Amino acid sequence: MMKDFGPTVLIFLCVFNTICDTVDKSKFKICDQSGFCKRQRHIADGSSNFDVNLKSGRTFKDYAVFDIVNKDNGHKFLLEVHTYMDGTFRVLMNEESPLHPRYQVEHALLPDLKKASMEFESVGNGESWTLAHTGMRDKFYVQIFASPMKLDFYSGGKKVAVFNGRNSLKYEHLRNKPDVNDEPKEDGGEETPQEPSMWEEQFSSHSDSKPRGPESIGVDIDFPLTQNLYGIPEHADDFRLKDTSGREPFRLYNLDVFEYELDSPMTLYGSIPYMMAHSPERTVGVLWVNAAETWIDVKTGGSGIVDSIVNLVGGSEDKEGRTRWMSESGIIDAFFFLGPSPLDVFKQYAKVTGVTPLPQMWAIGSHQCRWNYNDEEDVRGVDANFDSHDIPYDSIWLDIEHTDGKKYFTWDSHKFPHPVEMIQNISSKGRKMVTIIDPHIKRDGGYFLHEDALANDLYVKDKNGKVYEGWCWPGSSSYLDFFDPKVREYWASRFALDKYPSTLDLYTWNDMNEPSVFNGPEVTMPKDMMHYGGWEHRQVHNMYGLMQVMSTFEGQLQRSENQLRPFILTRAHFIGSQRYSAVWTGDNMANWEHLKASIPMCLSLSISGMSHCGADIGGFFQNPDAELMLRWYQAAAFQPFMRNHAHIETKRREPWLFGDRTTALIRSAVRRRYALLPYWYTLFYENEQTGVAPMRPLWAHYPTDAKTFGIQDAHLIGESLLVHPVTDKGATSINVYLPHGVWYDFYNYIKYEGGTHTLTVNDDTIPVFQRAGSIIPTKQRIRRASSLMKDDPYTLFVAIDEKGEAHGTLYIDDQQTFEYRTGSYLKVDLTYKNNKLSSKVVHSGPSFNSKEWIERVVILGANKKARDVKAVSKSVGSVALESEGEHPLVIRKPAVLVNEDWEIDLHF
């Protein structure tokens, strides 16, 4: 039978054809080609007609329920408003009695969310109600208006978010398919005229049967205080969201977009329907819990600059950011996180969606990948070359060619005849390996996975109940239905070491999990395929990758009997994927614009929970020259996930292949990464505690500084380092904006005041600044992998502020197990004050003993020589120390231990 193999052919043609180095847009829908988006997008403000019957209000301890009617057709709905801990509201709206159940997202949110009790009050003559967290009305409340329905959210007395304030709610209730012979009814039963696309839709050669007909939802959500909106990854676009007037809306529909373009609202591999609205006064977050195809219109009056000119000229006071959210199916389920600060919102969001668990230390080191390392000898050679070039790295990765004919969980017996020995060889160097394991399963009679899947009914089915077949890397493939608990259990069991020839030092990369289907509509699975529970793919599409990584995570837990922290890299992602996986920005390109784009893309992902984020170093497609490769390494050394990866048709790009000078400079960049691992690790620990990602926009810590709101060429790591990597070809200088306060260049110690500075840069410059007032823990004895640095001593960088103070934290544990969860870790608070640096153990685990010592302290901002310096601790007693210099003032070998309280006194 002939099949449409169009996309496959295109991929192979494009590899050799530079003309097609931009995305083929005809493969992907614009809003007008998506029936529901077209119906939803052109709804005029004020055109809908939903009323809340406030008299129907039923109130419970932590929620209230109201009846709603669509006055255009009499259709009835229910509105629920719930209160959660820490100033969070949730709005749910569903049909009172839908013809079929409508999908409500499962698995993405944390189970057992902590609710908060609610107080309520009917206002005026019953035109509105207010609901508030008990005793906190001065902080957070929502006011519900009856006619037309509208919800105003208040934080600290300020209106910060409005639901349906423009009265554009369109909620297509489920209905029976009209008989073809029926006359169009004028019974007021339909709020939308019948359109052909409601019951069947065509796109290119694909037809989507829509058994349930129209069921889309759409509503406006506005932010009265601000037009600075962020989030809704994944898009290759500005960090601060652009206005979509005259442009396509932002689309969220997980797709394998080949050679994606920049500055585009086109969808990519992941969808996190979460937005932050930030103003100097207040920050809020909105989470739209929906796994179906979603489009979002944004009105911010243009870029910030145009906006302020317009305001100046026109005297417009309009500061409101307007959005409209449109999903193909599901229910309205929206969380409102009311801040008030950015850090508060990060934490509120994390309480609902979860956090990235602390990775093993090696996972935040440098990773080396390629499509493909060809065989065992290749792996040996690459590994040995890292050592002979003295460049640290922590793991080597194998792409799809390592398998026997793209059958995952197998090895090519010619190229990789000794996988266990190979992994052991790598791990004997203190390193790990990672293999790719995709969700498409080769339909091959002798393949155990395929046979098990057929025998036990593990595959996604088509609408007639037949196993769905699509085309992917192995050729004809079927797709496991990870929504089925027995599939997740089966998949998890396949990671057992007696089933998958491997060791506990082999970890996992889940790619192509949008899912990618080369011959499917828009390169994915048709929407009318069927999943466990009777749901159509349409309702759950954006969660498919989440369900896969959830199951892989479970597999890695099981094989180590819950001892070792899993590591998974995913391409597709959704709300909650951070609980299981790191993420990278997919198949980017070897050019300067893509290097620049890695920052806004990872910032958007970081504020949306996916905090272990990176981009392929060098760009996946095409060949970077030495300068681009170097600058990319320098930027990536300061991003959370750091991996060199490339397409099979590119030239080799291991770090020593760009000439001696470049090799030396890449080595220098990677060594800077390794020096800072103690700081990154502490930040990842804090991320697990609080939900605040290590990589942050400047406004996270400078919320009132409007100059930071549009910045996307620089970012913070924690609160204390600001990074502005060089991302321009041939750059000899760079303009860096530093927020108010004092900053020190982290590498040459030059002092800067807040403001914009033009700095000269050379090829070894990575502009990184330490905030005065901070203490940063580092290790300066760089070895070939992070595990070999475990017991090495620390060097502390102390940058004193104008009050003569500085603060920092250091977190240490065994770097790989879950024992820290039961208290086996060490946490110390570091303080500089009154010419005294002191360390206080705030937690020391019962069975965890850390014997590292402090080998050096570098003090910035003292600006005088110390006359004498003395260390005091239990282990050293009281000893005089050597010091030298005044800026920096370096104290050598204090020899105090990290696991004891100590002090270093300076006399000037």
Ligand X SMILES: *[C@@H]1O[C@H](CO)[C@@H](O)[C@H](O)[C@H]1NC(C)=O
Helix and strand element counts for the chain (H, E): 14, 50
Q: How far is the CB of 403 from ligand X (least distance, A)?
A: 17
CB atoms within 10 A of CB 777: 24
Stretch of residues binding ligand X (CB under 6 A), selected from 288-296, 342-350, 418-426, 460-468: 418-426
Q: How far is the CB of 423 from ligand X (least distance, A)?
A: 9
Give residues 335-394 in contact with ligand X (rule: CB under 6 A).
376, 380
The C-alpha atoms of residue 602 and residue 616 are separated, in whole angstroms, by 12
Q: How far does CA 385 lie from the centroid of its chain?
A: 32
β partners of residue 367: 395, 643
801 DSSP assignment? -
The C-alpha atoms of residue 478 and residue 482 are separated, in whole angstroms, by 12
- DSSP conformation letters of 255-324: ---TTPPSS-----SB---EEEEE-SS-EEEEEE---S-EEEEEE-SSSHHHHHHHHHHH------EEEE
Stretch of residues binding ligand X (CB under 6 A), selected from 305-313, 347-355, 417-425, 781-789: 417-425
Q: How far is the CB of 374 from ligand X (least distance, A)?
A: 13
Q: Which is nearer to ligand X, 13 or 497 (CB)?
A: 497
496 DSSP assignment? S
Q: How far is the CB of 567 from ligand X (least distance, A)?
A: 22
Dihedral (CA of 20, 23, 25, 29) sign: positive
Q: How far is the CB of 727 from ligand X (least distance, A)?
A: 38
- 31, 38 Cβ separation under 8 angstroms: yes
Q: Which is nearer to ligand X, 396 or 460 (CB)?
A: 396
| Residue 528 annotated in active site | no
Dihedral (CA of 29, 35, 36, 42) sign: positive
Dihedral (CA of 379, 382, 385, 390) sign: negative
Q: Which is nearer to ligand X, 139 or 380 (CB)?
A: 380
Residues 399, 481, 511, 713: which is the catalytic one?
A: 511
CB atoms within 10 A of CB 351: 19
Residues 86, 152, 399, 587: which is the catalytic one?
A: 587
Q: How far is the CB of 411 from ligand X (least distance, A)?
A: 11
Taking alpha carbons only, the member of 566, 630, 641, 564 closest to residue 598 is 641
The C-alpha atoms of residue 146 and residue 140 are separated, in whole angstroms, by 20
From candidates 104, 197, 425, 831, binder to ligand X by CB under 6 A: 425
From candidates 100, 418, 864, 865, binder to ligand X by CB under 6 A: 418
Interaction between residue 420 and ligand X (CB under 6 A) = no
Q: Which is nearer to ligand X, 45 or 421 (CB)?
A: 421
Stretch of residues binding ligand X (CB under 6 A), selected from 419-427, 439-447, 572-580, 697-705: 419-427
Stretch of residues binding ligand X (CB under 6 A), selected from 1-9, 86-94, 223-231, 421-429: 421-429
- DSSP conformation letters of 546-572: HHHHHHHHHHHHHHTTT-BPP-EEESS
Residue the block writes with tokens 């230390």: 361
The C-alpha atoms of residue 761 and residue 744 are separated, in whole angstroms, by 16
| Residue 318 annotated in active site | no
The C-alpha atoms of residue 836 and residue 833 are separated, in whole angstroms, by 5
Interaction between residue 466 and ligand X (CB under 6 A) = no
Residue the block writes with tokens 């990589």: 695
Q: How far is the CB of 783 from ligand X (least distance, A)?
A: 20
**Beta strand 506-510 pairing with 432-436:** parallel
Q: Which is nearer to ligand X, 416 or 674 (CB)?
A: 416
Q: How far is the CB of 435 from ligand X (least distance, A)?
A: 15
Q: How far is the CB of 428 from ligand X (least distance, A)?
A: 8
From candidates 262, 287, 422, 575, binder to ligand X by CB under 6 A: 422
Interaction between residue 506 and ligand X (CB under 6 A) = no
Give residues 746-805 in contact with ligand X (rule: CB under 6 A).
none
401 residue type, one letter: E
Interaction between residue 421 and ligand X (CB under 6 A) = yes
Stretch of residues binding ligand X (CB under 6 A), selected from 24-32, 247-255, 415-423, 701-709: 415-423
Q: Which two tokens stand for residue 579?
A: 């609980």
Interaction between residue 625 and ligand X (CB under 6 A) = no
Catalytic site positions: 511, 587
User: Which chain residues interact with ligand X by CB under 6 A?
Assistant: 376, 380, 418, 421-422, 425
